Amino acid sequence: MKKVLLTLSLLSIVTTVSAQANQGHDIRINFKNCKDTIMYLAFYQFDKSYLADTCKKVVKGNVVFKGPKTLDKGVYYLVSQDKARYFDFFISDNNQKIVMSTDTADLVKNLKCTTSKENDDFFNYIKFITAKNKEYMEVKSKTKGMSSKDSAAFMMEKGKLLNETVVAYEKAFLEQHKGMFVGDVINLKMEKEAKDIPKASNGRPDSMYIYTYYKNHFWDGVNFQDDGIMRTPFFADKLKKYFNSVIVQNPDTMNVEIDRIMNKTKAGTMMQKLLIAHFLFTSESSKLMGFDKVFVHVIDKYIRTGMAKEVYDEKTIEKIKERGDILKPLLLGSQAPDLLMIDTIGHKQIARMGFDTVKTSQGATKLYYDNVQNLAQTFVSLYSIKADYLALVFWDVDCGHCKTEIPKLLEEYHKLKKEGYDIKVVSVYTQQEYDKWRKYIIENKLDWMNLYDGVHINNIKEKYDIYSTPVIYMLDKNKRIKAKRIGTEQVKDIVKQMEREYKADKK
């Protein structure tokens, strides 16, 4: 079964505008000197944007978005007919009638809102930030002709002063707008930094204290029960930053933090739906080995419990569960599923039984039960193979990548044997063309254990999640999975890591 590869655009989690009450919306903008004949109203939702309304006819800069549906609370923005974004503004549940004005001569400077103090205060905030950015660029222009050292020192001093001014302004703005949506949005983009930092033993600021404070206060003031929060340009980036850069990149830590965030949400909200979809997608698509544990955790905690029934349809949910069923036995630290395989010698015996010509699964099942006693003596069990380090590789003779990697693995195997490592390679051919397989083994001198599923009872593609080849698993002496889906160049490092673990266990 291939990966599900879920996206945030599935089913009901993507919406345009929801019909709450019949209050309706009426957004009017007097846009002086505007040449557009059509304009669009769009809104942010997590890390995407969606269309809310269209003004099909702009007359002398008068833009009107009017309709019977109440718009969802969030940050919206005006879009030109060329799909350029003009400016952001706020729409709340209790204020759907908004009148604004601006001028193309200086869009930011002329922004005004006469019906919403919240929006007018936000426009003043934008004017302040824009002015400070302009001031920064003017300061930067003064460094021309300076040496690199002098320029860096100059910008550090001036930049620090400007940054302190902006931080102080934002803190004052936040304090003045506590309990208002605009305050909640600005809070999302503000960094929570420690003050009065104690000294570490080396006399420098205690970096652990700084980190702990930052992490513990990262979500201060963020209301996960307010769907409006995820309809902003800041929430998705803040969430990604937290999980990608702030917390330790460890699957167990990820699981704890996901649960901590989810516990803050309210059942049935768009916030909860989008977070489930986001965590499911990011955990499945993670390139970090072992992070499928996060994917399985999300499935067990939020899919199997019915919390995602409004996020995905029943068919998709079943596919997700099936994917979880496949991955759960293959998590790092789990004991690898046993395999009962056939080697090149055993092939002659099963061929006489008719397994090489059987055409259907029913036929293979009948042959199995007719010959079960003789087969028991022919099978090579994975669990019967003894070695401190076992590389289990699944491959195909006709796979181009395998033709490159199998010789490399063979070379690495011989090197490790010469270095005295008790290592074995169990090479599993994933197809059934015996003659082609045997020829390749002989021609390439694959002097390790060569096996295949000649009796068709292992279902190796699903049991070991083989949707492409080659795939390498590294097992310890107890057949626990220590690494998986690694490249041949990683085998030696994994073996050495396992060796260190063995030595540590003996102490």
Give pLDDT, residue 478: 95
Is it the case that residue 1 has pLDDT exceeding 80?
no
Is it the case that residue 10 has pLDDT exceeding 80?
no
* Cα 176 to Cα 174: distance, rounded to the nearest angstrom: 5
The closest alpha carbon to 268, from 307, 316, 222, belongs to: 307
Tens digits of per-residue pLDDT, 360-402? 888 888 888 888 888 888 999 999 999 999 999 999 999 999 9
Give pLDDT, residue 3: 58
Are 451 and 346 in contact by the 8 Å Cβ rule? The answer is no
Could you tell me the fold of the domain covering 340-506? Answer: Glutaredoxin (3.40.30)
Distance of CA 298 to the CA centre of its chain: 12
Summarize the confidence of residues 457-486 as an average pLDDT. Answer: 95
Is it the case that residue 41 has pLDDT exceeding 70?
yes
pLDDT band at 69 (very low <50, low <70, confident <90, very high): very high
Give pLDDT, residue 148: 82
Burial group, residue 388, by CB count within 10 angstroms (0-12, 13-18, 19+): middle
C-alpha to C-alpha distances, 52 to 61, 127, 240, 282, 331, nearest whole angstrom: 20, 26, 25, 27, 43
The closest alpha carbon to 428, from 387, 473, 383, belongs to: 473
Q: Specify the higher pLDDT residue, 155 or 337.
A: 337
- The whole-chain average pLDDT of the chain stands at 91
Are 299 and 258 in contact by the 8 Å Cβ rule? The answer is no
Query: Residue ranges of the domains in the chain?
Result: 11-114, 167-246, 252-331, 340-506
Is it the case that residue 505 has pLDDT exceeding 90?
no
| Percentage of residues in the chain having pLDDT higher than 90 | 75
Tens digits of per-residue pLDDT, 200-255? 888 898 999 999 999 999 999 999 999 999 999 999 999 999 999 999 999 999 99
Is it the case that residue 9 has pLDDT exceeding 70?
no
Give pLDDT, residue 2: 52
Q: Does domain 11-114 have CATH number 3.30.2120?
A: no
In angstroms, the first-to-last Cα distance of the chain is: 43
Positive/negative CA dihedral, 439, 442, 443, 446 = positive
Beta carbons within 8 Å of 132's beta carbon, 6+ residues apart:
162, 165, 166
Total residues found in the chain within this entry:
507
Structure tokens at 343: 């080697």
Give pLDDT, residue 22: 57
pLDDT band at 12 (very low <50, low <70, confident <90, very high): very low
Is it the case that residue 427 has pLDDT exceeding 50?
yes
Give pLDDT, residue 160: 85
